[in-house]
Amino acid sequence: MSQSKPVLEIIGVDKHFGAQHVLKNCSLNVVQGETVVLIGPSGSGKSTLLRCINLLEPIQGGSIFFRNQDITHASIEPHKLRRDIGMVFQNYELFSHLTAAENIMLAPMTVLGVSRSEAGAQ
């Protein structure tokens, strides 16, 4: 593993849904260019962790840093953060009139304003 500073750092994250403690002291570091895969049985918290990283779910403990900034701080604007952190939902819907590649290129073109050729190169 690289010795680079993590681009994403999750430290001791806890998440509860009522009495159910779904993420317990969860920690993870991801450095630039690294590919990370979350695996586990259904209901183990994979999607919940991704939703917490994307600020779709609040955490009850711990910290999440993206590019050295605490993204769980109240001053963070989720819609701005989501320009740089994306996720694919489990029940995704693709536009049937577009290819898979065109579906993937759509977000950077629409949200970030990159050209079609730039989006295709990424």
2 pLDDT higher than 60? no
Which pair of tokens denotes residue 6? Answer: 């993590």
**75 and 29 fall within a common domain:** yes
87 is a domain residue: no
**43 and 66 fall within a common domain:** yes
Could you give the 3-state DSSP secondary structure of residue 98? Answer: coil
Q: Number of folded domains in the chain? A: 2
Tens digits of residue pLDDT in 69-89: 999 998 999 988 888 887 776
Rounded Cα distance, 116 and 105, in Å: 7
Tens digits of residue pLDDT in 6-31: 999 999 999 999 999 999 999 999 99
Q: Which domain holds residue 46?
A: 6-81
**111 and 72 fall within a common domain:** no
The answer to whether 26 touches 61, Cβ cutoff 8 Å, is: no
**76 and 105 fall within a common domain:** no
